[in-house]
A = this chain, B = another copy of it.
Amino acid sequence: MIDVRVQADDFDPGAEIERLHAGRGDIGAVASFTGLVRGGDIVAMTLEHYPGMTERQLRAIADDAATRWPLDGIVIVHRHGRLLPGERIVLVAVASSHRAAAFEACAFLMDWLKTQAPFWKREESDEGDRWVEAKVSDDAAAARWQR
């Protein structure tokens, strides 16, 4: 099961994790990652995206992960729109028989998503708004999966 969603609404990480293994007795491991808006100087963050391409890229990233590791299911949920500090932005959850595969695929999906999914973050702060710059560290994180 590969399920990819781009939505304005919040999501429920527990329900997504549960959905990956509910009714099955063959799944030993579910690794998940929940990304949240970090506050600090930021009042809010708005995520713009490229409808159509976003879903397509997330799906391609998930399909790629499924060829690299023995996985039983992948859920990716990514929100767009205006989000406040502490709000959930993204969930990646991966089911597998093997914990190393689940962990690695989950980290891979996040690294890949950060550099390959067409989202752009605009931060609102007391000093005004600004577009978040892409991080070199994200490119480096993604590069380690290159093959």
Write the residues of chain A forming the contact surface with B, with a CB cutoff of 8 angstroms: 12-15, 17-18, 21-40, 85-86, 97, 99-100, 102-103, 106-107, 110, 141
Residues B17 and A28 in contact, CB atoms below 8 Å apart: no
Task: Select one of B12, B28, B31 contacting A32, CB under 8 A.
Answer: B31
- What distance in Å separates the Cβ of A91 from its nearest Cβ neighbour in chain B? 10
A147 to chain B, nearest CB (A): 20
Closest to A114 in B: B99
Instruction: Enumerate 26 A-B pairs (CB-CB under 8 Å) in ascending A order.
Output: A12-B14, A13-B13, A13-B17, A14-B14, A14-B17, A17-B34, A21-B34, A21-B36, A23-B86, A24-B86, A25-B40, A26-B39, A26-B40, A27-B36, A27-B86, A28-B37, A29-B35, A29-B36, A31-B31, A31-B32, A31-B106, A33-B103, A99-B110, A100-B107, A103-B103, A103-B110
- Closest CB-CB distance, A78 to chain B, in whole Å? 14
Of all chain B residues, the one with the shortest Cβ separation from A29 is: B35
Q: Give the contacting residue for A25; candidates B12, B32, B33, B38; CB below 8 A.
A: B38
| Cross-chain contact B30 with A33 (CB below 8 angstroms) | yes
A33-B29, A106-B103, A141-B100 known; A86 and B38 CB under 8 Å? no
